Structure 1
Amino acid sequence: MTTAAEIAPDVPFDIRNLPKVSLHDHLDGGLRPATIIDLAAKVGHTLPSTDPVALAEWFRESADSGSLVRYLETFDHTIAVMQTREGLQRVAREFVEDLVADGVVYGEVRWAPEQHLSQGLSLDEAVEAVQAGIEEAVEASGYRIQIGQLITAMRHADRGQEIAELAVRHRDRGAVGFDIAGAEDGFLPSRFAEAFRYLAEQNFPTTVHAGEAAGLESIQSALVDGRALRLGHGVRIAEDIDVEFTTDEANEADLGMVTLGPLAAWVRDRGIALEICPSSNLQTGAISAWGEEIDQHPIDLLYQTGFRVTVNTDNRLMSSVTLSDEFELLIDTFDYDLDDLLELTLNAAEAAFLPLEQREALVEQITEAYSELR
């Protein structure tokens, strides 16, 4: 697979300096290889390699399997070194530093505290450690960036209510939303229906991984049972879109007639944001129904038909990408221009789990930065 990092299109602006919004970015999928090696040595965890370059390549190759299950196995190593306050705080601090270097001005960092308790931390202590690292990096950056935590429950476990209550406890101390993640197929959001009901009663927003390893039933459950305001990936909503090709009068080109099914129409017409991660979707086989190359990714179909598409990295380490790389990939593949990047970024800003006034300020900040390039 050709990764976004290997593509360098000739564009008349610096993509890395464009203001970006990152909505789907896993903390345990964004560690620096050198940090993994250092922390692993301290906790006695054995790695596939202790060379940073070789370790980075191992993660990318292991994740590039076409299987979400195997993709998720790579997290055994990152989670193993994130079991102490020191490890969590350092990883969070460096994560934010990497977002700053990528031009991100607003980011939501998702992670599952329940996976980081093996060395004695409580759920609250784990969240506090990550928040400390975030705040340390934001303060040191001297950069206009906002970061929120998306507190995540693992969908194959039975701690949904407990994690939902954890998220609400920290709503004024860094937590901005709730998510469920992990093996999607066979674990519908309906498993956590009561937890999602509790979150709705607490007026706490949710985004749900759906439409990646499972299809329309998973998306429907995310919307109904999970009360999702956004769909994590959501790319398989394209299964509910019918495209018929006809030949024009000159017999020179195929024209596509697009018909939305009821679920796709609901998602599009209500502006439910899709947190699409192009490179990751290719790696995990989420787009296998459409093909195995990036130009067959349905992201362009969704974007062109009016869905609120946002662009994200998912896991920077496993996919060996930045958000800048993903933008470059879309430019190279679909010939997107500055107006497209602005629209995709504003889609994300408007879907951010922020109060209205802060979303409006974020939109203004982004729009002004883009206007200076025209």
Structure 2
Amino acid sequence: MATSTPHPGDFPPVTEELLRALPKTDLHCHLDGSLRLETILDLAEKQKVRLPADTPEGLARAIHMGQNTGSLEKYLEAFDVTLSVLQTEESLYRAAYELAIDAARENVRYLEVRYAPVLHTRLGLKPTTIVDAVLEGLRVAKRETHVKSNVIICGIRHIDPATSLRLAELAVAYKNRGVVGYDLAGAEEGYPSKDHQAAFQLILSNNVNVTIHAGEAFGPESIAQAVHYCGAHRIGHGVRLRENGDLLNYINDHRVPLEMCPSSNVQTGSVADMKSHPLKFYFDFGLRVTINTDNRLITDTTLTKELGIAHREMGFTLEDLCTLIVSGFKSAFLPYREKADLLKAVNQEIAAVLAKHGAPPKLVESLPRNAREA
């Protein structure tokens, strides 16, 4: 229970070093958008795949790395490049392993990696082989770094709903074996999530978690469909939720977390710039919001960078950032008791990190919004 209200002067200055040291989650992170540039070039050479450039600098330009593209559809063109080298068991293992290693380097304690197995079958890989390769890469990284990670299987909006159902069956088969959720990704406009209801019915009937990309490039009705037709437990992006106050209050009342990815949202043109991003408004209103990378490579970002942007450009205080971080752990697709234990450890670690950087050691104990309940 809170005993006092922290004074702004109690908090140390927000630095990159401090943000990197804080424990973090990344709940919205695409495997095929988070490779290393050097890995793409190396895999292409080994697989005899022709790329649009043969240097890291040229490849970065070709996939508009960190550049504003103006639309989600334009942004998604970069995945043609990354997917061209992710068609073998070895490349999938390596991509997953390196992603977890990169996340661990900035103290991400829990990572949910999402991808669509159907996009990795060009050379005949079986869906089960694809899932096993990614899970093994994440397992090896966990043994080396202790970063905990799980997988979210994605359906694709513009692909036949029958394929979504097959992918849902795959997610159900791997429940309790490393897969913790099911998602629907891809271009929103013209491809409503309700067309894929059969897949979500199977998922929900088997008590699997649901997150859906919605309200990114299309209006709040996309979010309404995700929640009311498809049973979404979390929403990917949701930047356009603010256009419907009644739905916004529903999402808030039911504590449906939003997986927000600020830099990606600007890059895709979902929001005009950081100053107009709704993250701080949602946070102040009381919604459960989390901060994520989306695509570490294509957006040229990390969790540390996203938290820094939230501080510098959106006005988040260090206290706010700690609350935002804790919301990520609260929103994880983990069993309640495991989540509760993790939250306890995370709050203790946040206190230790703040103390190391000059704050009173028990400061986090007095933060009223950092509730311990999962």
TM-score (norm 1): 0.88
Of 340, 345, 349, the match for 1:365: 345
Residue 102 of structure 2 is matched in structure 1 by 98
Residue 273 of structure 1 is matched in structure 2 by 257
- Structure 1, unaligned stretches of length 5 or more? 1-8, 241-260
Q: Does 1:146 align with 2:148?
A: yes
Of 69, 73, 76, the match for 1:69: 73
Q: Is the 8 A contact 1:207 1:228 kept in 2?
A: yes
SS state at 1:324 partner: helix
Of 156, 159, 170, the match for 2:158: 156
Residue 207 of structure 2 is matched in structure 1 by 203
Deviates more, 1:9-18 or 1:49-58: 9-18
Of 355, 359, 365, the match for 2:335: 355
Residue 242 of structure 2 is matched in structure 1 by 238
Residue 285 of structure 1 is matched in structure 2 by 269
> Equivalents in 2 of 1:178, 1:14: separation in Å?
33
> Equivalents in 1 of 2:290, 2:276: separation in Å?
17
1:54 aligned partner, one-letter code: G
* Residue pairs, 1:1-374, within 5 angstroms: 11=15, 14-61=18-65, 64-141=68-145, 143=146, 145-158=147-160, 159-240=163-244, 261-287=245-271, 292-372=272-352, 373=354, 374=359
SS state at 1:125 partner: helix
> Equivalents in 2 of 1:194, 1:270: separation in Å?
24
1:101 aligned partner, one-letter code: R
Q: CA RMSD in A?
A: 1.5
Distance 1:129 1:12, change over 3 A: closer
> Equivalents in 1 of 2:208, 2:326: separation in Å?
22
Structure 1 residue 181: Cα displacement:
0.4
> Equivalents in 2 of 1:105, 1:194: separation in Å?
34
Structure 1 residue 53: Cα displacement:
3.2
1:316 aligned partner, one-letter code: R
> Equivalents in 2 of 1:12, 1:132: separation in Å?
31
SS state at 1:340 partner: helix
> Equivalents in 1 of 2:300, 2:201: separation in Å?
37
- CA deviation vs aligned residue, 1:292-312 (integer Å, no higher than 9, x gap): 221111111111111111101
Structure 1 residue 38: Cα displacement:
0.7
Q: Is the 8 A contact 2:14 2:318 kept in 1?
A: no
Structure 1 residue 365: Cα displacement:
1.8
Q: Is the 8 A contact 1:62 1:71 kept in 2?
A: no
Q: Is the 8 A contact 1:59 1:317 kept in 2?
A: no
Identity %: 40
Q: Is the 8 A contact 1:210 1:231 kept in 2?
A: yes
Structure 1 residue 347: Cα displacement:
1.1
SS state at 1:187 partner: coil
- CA deviation vs aligned residue, 1:60-92 (integer Å, no higher than 9, x gap): 358521110010010001011010001100111
Residue 362 of structure 2 is matched in structure 1 by none
1:346 aligned partner, one-letter code: V
1:230 aligned partner, one-letter code: R
> Equivalents in 2 of 1:46, 1:195: separation in Å?
35
